[in-house]
Chains A and B, each alone.
Chain A
Amino acid sequence: MGRLTTRQLPGKQGRKKKPTAKIGLQPGDMLQDRYRIVGVLGAGGFSSVYQARDMRFPNVTKLCAIKEMVISAPDPKIRELTIQSFEREASMLAMLDHPAIPDVSDYFTEKDRSYLVLDLIRGKDLDHWLEEQNEPLDQERALDWAIQLCDALGHLHQQKPNPIVFRDMKPSNIMLDQHNRIRLIDFGIAKIFEGSNKGTMIGTEGYSPPEQYRGLATPAGDVYALGATLHHLLTRQDPRLEPPFTFAERPIRPINHTVSPAFEAIIMRCLAYDPKERFANAFELKDALELLSNAGSVSREVSAPLTSKNEATVPEAAAVAVASSSQIQPLWVFKCEDEIRSKAAVTENRVLISVYDNNLYAINKEDGQFVWKYPTADGVGASPCVYEDMAFIGSSDTIMYAIDLRTGRKVWHYETNGSIYSSPTARFEHVFFGSDDGHLYALNVRHGRSAWKVNAFSAVRSSPYVDDERVFFGTEGGYIYCLELASGKTKWQAQARRAVTSSPTFAEEIVFVGSLDGTVYALDAATGWAVWRFRTRRPVISSPVVHDGVVYIGSSDGSLYAIDLNSGRQLWTYDTDGQVNSSPAIWQDAVYFGSTDGYIYSVSCKRGELRWRFDTEKPVISSPTIDEGIVYIGSTNHHLYALPA
């Protein structure tokens, strides 16, 4: 025997492992000179179930089910103990009287096997029922079945002096008989025979409560298994194919719209890890279910609105009601002549914003009052940047302007051969930006002298990221470049499938950037080799921001994505009704961004839950800048807002 045993499950293709136990009895075999075997109903590792005819009634065909259990222990003493506990449990079962529990009419031991004779129940078990259905079970039927099951389990749990624990509640142990009534068909009695055989599981993995793996079997364990069974029936997610004890991470209502929050809450309470947090026994659970059943019409009304859309964002839907836009009041609003598509730059006392009305505006940070404006010769789509006492802004008129922050007067300008949509980055006494003429420029901030310019062979609209040695940027031709900072020499280039308008950011020696090919790329900063890529459904124009090991970025597919930096896996998404071309910004534990649905959003970093949203009634393409708890963001409605974060 090998050392390890994994769970032996049917694979996703539905392949099944062959049963390893030898089938002991053949049709025609007789047991106790009374029961003639007719056929096999099921076989497992330690037990088999046969259909048999009771020959005590020779003139009629009276059928019964016989469960056969192999006594595997070679030690005669353990063998004797096994038989004793079998007989004790069998006589206890024979005393039970409940319509959903099959009658035990006889039990006996022959050679190395013990047998239990039960009513034969015709119908199908719920595992087969699940296979036949295409739709998840609806709440009404689930409640009906759950209450019947609780009634049967409750009968076991109330036995004196000790409660009987069913121990193996799962769909395949529940029958739906020909009258559509629920019947239990198996008992944990088989467990007596399993012993501590290495490589075997107790209970059925997926449905059993955690404490059962340490040998504890209590009524609260049956409650857990019933909760697991209901979860399976309602979601059609087979717990044997999921990591164990993960029901809490897999809510029911996003999958099954008929389930009310109250019903889900009851099921989740059954599934608590700690037995003390569950319903103590089946009757307690039954009370809760009946209460819900009687209030059935009410609970259905509650669940109704959720059937509409965005099922994955249930918490948000609830939160919207709490934090409506009316509660967020702008500290001030600044009105311009045209659309604002850029990101504001914030200094100690000024907010700078560029506008399609050709102007760069300086606004008083305190009260939103106009201070100065600098007119360029054409619309300004790029964002300004500030370096010491200067502001830099590129315009569609092909010129990069250096403006004195105090006076709003031009210090110098530099003409390129194409419109400038790339927002400048200033560092190390130089300002870096791209132009539609296909070059990236590095100019001295003081006098605008060119340190170098690099041919990128297609328009550069992305804003360069400058670290201590390198400059990273994207091109409309679909390349991501890494240049040596001092010389402008190309260190590497990486190719996306379409334009890279998004501006790269950098963390842990990785460059992150989005592309119009719909992908977010994570590239090794030393080599340009992708470490991972993340696909959204539509072009990505938004620029990423990295915070606490998470990459946040929007997509024109309408979502804001939170992606784990180390694995490239999605942590959560937040869906809006427009495109998220705005670049997110982080303040404390929240991420802020705009959408073309007209809203400015604040969403929690951790789980992507809506904190608030603010309606501007026109698409928000502008990206937020956050400073000292205030969000500065524009809208195509011609307004710049200062909102409390």
Chain B
Amino acid sequence: MDKSTTLDDPEEERADENSELVPDKENQTSAESRAESEEENTPQETTPLAKNPFVDVPRGEPAKTRPIISKVTEPLLAEEPHMRVAKRCHVGARRERNEDSSLTLVSEVGGHFAVLPFGLYIVADGMGGHSDGHVASRIASRTAAMHIIHNIYLPLLEDSDKGFKAPIQEVLEQAVQKANKAVFENDPEMDSGTTLTIALVLGRRLHVAHVGDSRLYLMANGKFEPITNDHSLVQRLQDVGQLTAEEATFYRYGHILLRAVGQADEVEVDTYMRLLPKSGKLLMCSDGLSGFVSEAEMRSILERDIPLEEMADALFRAAMDMGGFDNITAVLVDFEL
């Protein structure tokens, strides 16, 4: 941080003219009027919204009343922020039951005091030898969503400066721990469990909490980028250089998770955040999609110039074309923030 850096500002060129400075406060009145008359004559004044917000304060008007950047009247913002969602959460072709769960919640409140864009997206992929994977994924996704709504969304609507708002990353982590406890306590045999991937878009920022091998991708500025890391044996073997990406696709232990929600009284959660670009797409999916459809194919679908619903269909069909061996969940979010 270099606080003394001067910006490339035409205002600075006038520094020499100003070299004869009034030393003390007593003389400020005269200095004030002179300085301002100079400002009037500079070409600077015609430049709209100069880098220096102090430059063209109209004379006589106290600086306080002048908004520098008024987002409300800014004519360039043609489109309001939005997040559009399309999703598929399907049993697939071979399974008897859908053990995936998905949950989406998008809030759009317009007006002068618009509430921050809020989008909550959850994918959970249940599992368990003989017991109830679908129950685990349901409990996990709903428990987590309730905690986030209670601790982030409701305070957001309350719109109060008072009271302590829990840090967002902590709320997300607690949401996963609560979900973990709920699944664990529901199934003392510890047979069932679930993956749990939560993406929360708040304003321009994406917050992620993640356990398991469901995935989150970001497609923006021509890049298709995985955001989450799988907590799977396959991924770990690749990390230590004992398995190549091609081998991984057909690896017989592809279904083995190293971390899952509901297996112990606590779970290690990956949390992460980043600023989102102004526009782009998020894709969340269970391994019923990402385990059978390559990243290149998912990407090519997201690059097509088709409506969002058709895109979700195309993703779903791609997984079905590969056999639909597993439950298929895809949550697509098209955002403009």
A residues whose Cβ falls under 8 Å from a Cβ of B = 1-9, 11-13, 15, 17-18, 20, 196, 198-199, 201, 205, 210-211, 213-214, 243-245, 273-274, 345, 385-389, 410-415, 425-430, 444, 446-449, 451-452, 463, 465-466, 468-469, 484-489, 492-493, 495, 505-506, 508-509, 521-522, 524, 526-527, 529-533, 545-546, 566-569
**B153-206: which residues lie under 8 A (CB-CB) from chain A?**
161, 164-170, 184, 188-193, 202-205
Q: Are B203 and A487 in contact (CB under 8 A)?
A: no
Q: How far is the CA of A451 from the CA of B54 in the complex (A)?
A: 8
Q: Are B23 and A412 in contact (CB under 8 A)?
A: yes
On chain B, the residues within 8 Å of A487 by CB distance are 63-68
**B1-29: which residues lie under 8 A (CB-CB) from chain A?**
1, 3-4, 6-7, 9, 11-12, 15, 18, 21-25, 27-28
Q: How far is the CA of A243 from the CA of B128 in the complex (A)?
A: 20
Q: Are B95 and A3 in contact (CB under 8 A)?
A: yes
Known contacts A214-B243, A244-B258, A530-B165: A415-B3 contact under CB 8 Å? no
Q: A214-B242, A452-B63 are in contact. List 13 more A-B contacts (CB 8 A).
A: A7-B257, A11-B264, A201-B256, A412-B21, A446-B35, A448-B25, A487-B65, A492-B161, A508-B274, A508-B275, A522-B167, A531-B169, A567-B272
Q: How far is the CA of A389 from the CA of B167 in the complex (A)?
A: 43
Q: Are A484 and B67 in contact (CB under 8 A)?
A: yes
Q: Are B236 and A447 in contact (CB under 8 A)?
A: no
What is the CB-to-nearest-CB distance from A380 to chain B, in angstroms, rounded to a whole number?
A: 18
What is the CB-to-nearest-CB distance from A502 to chain B, in angstroms, rounded to a whole number?
A: 13
- Nearest residue in B to A543 (C-beta to C-beta)? B1
Question: Is B101 in contact with chain A by the CB < 8 A criterion?
Answer: no
On chain B, the residues within 8 Å of A452 by CB distance are 63-64
Q: Are A199 and B255 in contact (CB under 8 A)?
A: yes
On chain A, the residues within 8 Å of B25 by CB distance are 412-415, 448
**6 sample A-B contacts, Cβ–Cβ < 8 Å, listed by A number:** A2-B133, A4-B260, A17-B189, A243-B258, A486-B68, A529-B167
* Residue from A388, A449, A451, A492 in contact with B31 in the complex, judged by beta carbons closer than 8 Å: A449
Question: Is B143 in contact with chain A by the CB < 8 A criterion?
Answer: no
Q: Are B265 and A13 in contact (CB under 8 A)?
A: yes
Q: How far is the CA of A492 from the CA of B160 in the complex (A)?
A: 10
Q: Are B258 and A2 in contact (CB under 8 A)?
A: no
On chain A, the residues within 8 Å of B6 by CB distance are 387-388, 427
On chain A, the residues within 8 Å of B116 by CB distance are 526-527
Q: How far is the CA of A193 from the CA of B240 in the complex (A)?
A: 29
Q: How far is the CA of A572 from the CA of B219 in the complex (A)?
A: 32
Q: Are A493 and B57 in contact (CB under 8 A)?
A: no
Q: How far is the CA of A425 from the CA of B4 in the complex (A)?
A: 7
On chain A, the residues within 8 Å of B189 by CB distance are 17-18
What is the CB-to-nearest-CB distance from A193 to chain B, in angstroms, rounded to a whole number?
A: 17
Known contacts A214-B243, A412-B23, A468-B51: A17-B190 contact under CB 8 Å? yes
Known contacts A7-B256, A415-B25, A487-B64: A509-B204 contact under CB 8 Å? yes
On chain A, the residues within 8 Å of B18 by CB distance are 446
Q: How far is the CA of A356 from the CA of B170 in the complex (A)?
A: 42
* Residue from A386, A449, A469 in contact with B32 in the complex, judged by beta carbons closer than 8 Å: A449
> How many inter-chain contacts with C-beta < 8 Å in the A-B complex?
248
B residues whose Cβ falls under 8 Å from a Cβ of A = 1, 3-4, 6-7, 9, 11-12, 15, 18, 21-25, 27-28, 31-32, 35, 51-54, 57, 63-69, 95, 99, 116, 125-131, 133, 161, 164-170, 184, 188-193, 202-205, 207, 233, 236-237, 239-243, 247, 252-253, 255-260, 263-266, 270-275, 326
Q: How far is the CA of A212 from the CA of B272 in the complex (A)?
A: 33
Q: Are A12 and B64 in contact (CB under 8 A)?
A: no
Q: Are B125 and A213 in contact (CB under 8 A)?
A: no
Q: Are B275 and A446 in contact (CB under 8 A)?
A: no
Q: Are A9 and B263 in contact (CB under 8 A)?
A: yes
Q: Are A3 and B68 in contact (CB under 8 A)?
A: no
Q: How far is the CA of A430 from the CA of B65 in the complex (A)?
A: 18
- Nearest residue in B to A505 (C-beta to C-beta)? B1
- Nearest residue in B to A345 (C-beta to C-beta)? B4
Q: How far is the CA of A245 from the CA of B66 in the complex (A)?
A: 60
Q: Are A568 and B240 in contact (CB under 8 A)?
A: no
Q: Are B64 and A488 in contact (CB under 8 A)?
A: yes
Q: How far is the CA of A14 from the CA of B63 in the complex (A)?
A: 66
On chain B, the residues within 8 Å of A427 by CB distance are 3, 6-7
Q: Are A530 and B193 in contact (CB under 8 A)?
A: no
Q: Are B265 and A444 in contact (CB under 8 A)?
A: no
What is the CB-to-nearest-CB distance from B301 to chain A, in angstroms, rounded to a whole number?
A: 24
- Nearest residue in B to A585 (C-beta to C-beta)? B1
* Residue from B51, B188, B240, B270 in contact with A245 in the complex, judged by beta carbons closer than 8 Å: B240
On chain A, the residues within 8 Å of B260 by CB distance are 4, 6
Q: How far is the CA of A196 from the CA of B251 in the complex (A)?
A: 12
Q: Are A429 and B52 in contact (CB under 8 A)?
A: yes
- Nearest residue in B to A569 (C-beta to C-beta)? B271
Q: Are A449 and B35 in contact (CB under 8 A)?
A: yes
* Residue from B23, B126, B237 in contact with A213 in the complex, judged by beta carbons closer than 8 Å: B237
On chain B, the residues within 8 Å of A425 by CB distance are 3
* Residue from A20, A198, A244, A529 in contact with B236 in the complex, judged by beta carbons closer than 8 Å: A244
Q: How far is the CA of A7 from the CA of B23 in the complex (A)?
A: 76
Q: Are B3 and A426 in contact (CB under 8 A)?
A: yes
Known contacts A11-B264, A428-B9: A6-B1 contact under CB 8 Å? no
On chain B, the residues within 8 Å of A9 by CB distance are 263-264
Q: Are A447 and B51 in contact (CB under 8 A)?
A: no
